[in-house]
Amino acid sequence: MPGNRMKTVRISIMQPLTSSPSASIGDPSQRRFPTQLSGITVFFTQFVRFTWNSKPHFRRALILIFALICLPLVPSVASAVELQWQDEQGTIHSLDEYKGKPVLVHFWASWCGPCRGEMPKLTAWLKQHPQVTIIPISLDDSIADAKAFLTEHQFALPAQIGDQNQAFALGARGLPTTMTISASGDITARQIGALPWDDPQLSKAVLQALTPTQTAP
């Protein structure tokens, strides 16, 4: 399930989502987007310039052609429940297995510098909060690379590998990316970049995001 390598970014504070589940969190100036979107942007800019100077009936035809060509290229908005990953035994798992339970999903890779730097504090935080269910998903080229890194540094996390396209569709525009997913399968918060897991405020925010909402009687 491995894909091409994603960019690494550093953004500091995790915040709840205020828009659609596919929206990313953090300073836009620090985000890194795949070259696919950059190519679409360049093409779109040139298309708009050409279309603007065309005759009205020809302009409408060009817009229709553009939509038909580019629609398949735009990453679709994926539901979190569609997320899948593979374990060391080759078994494919999905978020549907955790239906009714809030989870923390963490995308990382052994070649990602910020991921490597974040891992000690993340695993230490998890030891302090054993009630938290985490799904660590590596985007390494192979599961062997992920396992070798975790074993070498004695990080108590399972080696699991996922697909970059799925991660991107869920809003993971760079690595590491951490997201909280509610019991109903909705992404409630997302952070692109390493998190300060030893920060009490962050810890409180993550735990609150993972706490099921209590409805009034």
Q: Residue 214: its pLDDT value, please?
A: 44
For the chain, what are the domain ranges? 15-33+78-209, 35-73
- Least confident range from 68-82, 146-160, 180-194: namely 68-82
Q: Any idea what the Cα angle at residue 191 is, between residues 206 and 156, rounded to 5°? A: 65
Cβ-Cβ contacts under 8 Å for 179 (sequence gap 6 or more): 80, 104, 105, 170, 171, 172, 187, 189, 190, 191
* Radius of gyration for the chain, computed over Cα atoms and rounded to the nearest angstrom: 20
* Residues 27-37: tens digit of each pLDDT: 333 333 333 34
* Residues 30-76: tens digit of each pLDDT: 333 333 344 544 555 565 566 556 666 665 665 556 555 544 444 43
In this structure, whether the domain defined by 15-33+78-209 belongs to CATH 3.40.30.10 is answered with yes
Mean pLDDT of 125-147: 97
Residue 33 near residue 180 (C-beta atoms within 8 A):
no
Residue 117 near residue 124 (C-beta atoms within 8 A):
no
Mean pLDDT of 175-201: 93
